[in-house]
Structure 1
Amino acid sequence: MKTFVYAKADTPQAAVQDSAGTATKFIAGGTNLLDLMKLQVETPDKLVDISRLDLAAIEERDDGGLTIGALVPNSDLAADHRVIAKYPVLSRSLLAGASGQLRNKATTGGNLLQRTRCYYFYDVAARCNKREPGSGCDAIGGFNRILAVLGTSDQCIATHPSDMAVAMRALDATIVTLRPDGDRRRIAIHEFYRLPGDTPHIENVLEPGELITHVELPTPPVGQQTYRKVRDRASYAFALVSVAGIVSVENGTITSAALAFGGLAHLPWRDDAVEAALIGQPPSMATFEAAADALLADAKGFGSNDFKIPLARRTLIATLRELTEA
């Protein structure tokens, strides 16, 4: 592991002021960052420890939503009675991720920022544009079984690994940050992550030294909620395909739908066309097939991951059948 400077922050303001420079990283639970540092995938010059900041509360808002501190452990968020009652899709997504020990340590903010589990990203001997811009992508033409089939580019086919972020995307969460200049930002989650394009190493819209302090959930949505995750083993495995679904049915017609997908793209994927294919239609196989067609219209496999396209279709249809009891 490369030598680095370690500093502890007592306030969010001190943390962002102490993080000046692009080679500085914040550390809280460290469940992803420390692994990457050991492999020298991440080589920060400085770590700013934010684990002692007062950002570990879950608070109700006047509109019925929740404000979640960035340091709330994943296990605490999944077990919170308000989350279970109002946002079960979020609780289920958290319980589907990692292991109990990791959930006890991993934080809400860190979960949003965890990095891809692409084999080539983790192998410093391989070419990876995400790790070393301009070096190439060995995943394209290589063993890419777990990688993306939507929103890819010639530079990168990595996937985002978070289960929680997929549920947050379906819930239209907002990410609250603090900048080094003291200004605060509220970023809608659909604007937070970036597709790979020509710059796969730029994964989100955070500026250097900008700190996630909270996540806001809006008023609880109407309808049934679920999270379905397909993976290679029953626990401690990343999604091949996952679906966070919220669907409301009234008088035999789908009146609202929010669907986000994991394991398929560089970010938690949500496509308006999928929901448009459902709303106003009866919950039937024809409707569900139309939604799957919309989801996969531009899907592209890269050999080892071709199976993800029919798997995504079956997973979406099974999720919709569960949500609508069709």
Structure 2
Amino acid sequence: MELLNSIWDLAKKDIKRIVLPEGEERRTIEAARKIKDLGLAHPILIGNKEKIIHEIKSLNLEFEDIEIIDSNTSRNIDKYVDKFYELRKNKGVTIEKAKQIVKDPMYFATVMLKCNDADGLVSGAVHTTGDLLRPGLQVVKAAKGASVVSSFFIMGVPTSNYGEEGMLLFADCAVNPNPSYEQLAEIAITTADTAKKVCKIEPRVAMLSFSTMGSADHDTVEKVRMATELAKKLRPDLLIDGEMQLDAAIVESVAKQKAPNSNIAGKANILIFPDLQSGNIGYKLVQRFANAEAVGPICQGFDKPINDLSRGCSVEDIINVVAVTAVQAQNN
């Protein structure tokens, strides 16, 4: 995917420290070695040092130049415990409880990010999205002005002409089960801004539905209409339109029939799904049936870059998400 090549090039220009809390996991170890060799980031593995070294030896890899931190023995553990306690004491967390929680690699890595000892975080090869979001929201928290954390996938089909030369952004496919119309508007705006900053493309956002410009009426359609109106009102500088069906959004011949007055229809490069079910199903269908490359889910709305992986991810998936995270960190 041409877009990934450009993201890799951007990542290499300003090397960022990306913490990987699943440091004992085999794919993560392999990815860390390649990330370092490619010059995409400075990877930091978190976990039991003996277990990590055992896996490294079994893979016959050289790791002298890659940072490994044991969350149980780190010299920064007291600093991180104090930080977590300050952040969560109003929620009933005691200093003793903080010591127990912060030794968990997921929490350790998140506090590390909060303390600016890392620039970004990538997890999900073993942990669920909830395992990632929970410490993220408790410790790093949402960015200023953001009311919702969401996600998107970069979907690429090299043989396709849809979207941006075969590349489309799908949102939200991993975080919000049933966003309100206000949240849906914010997801559209945030994804458009991320597309500009990270993907370096001019966003053309389609708000998806089973209706195109009033062809059907239903509460779920009305939500998309209201979200579209709000997004346009909040950000008139962005190209956002809807509601529209998928074919009207990306196929110009269909767009001419269904939405002839839209400057987005047939040309969309960002697809905003009305809920998590449709978004998750949609990205997996395209990934499997079209043999698409799916990079993500990439999170947005956190104060610092925190990104998720599918538990079925490959080494290459981890590398790509780390590269995106590094570019997000450059723009943070």
TM-score (norm 2): 0.24
TM-score (norm 1): 0.24
For the pair shown, which has the larger CA radius of gyration, 1 or 2? 2
Higher relative contact order (CA 8 A, sep 6+): 2
Could you say which structure has the higher helix fraction?
Answer: 2
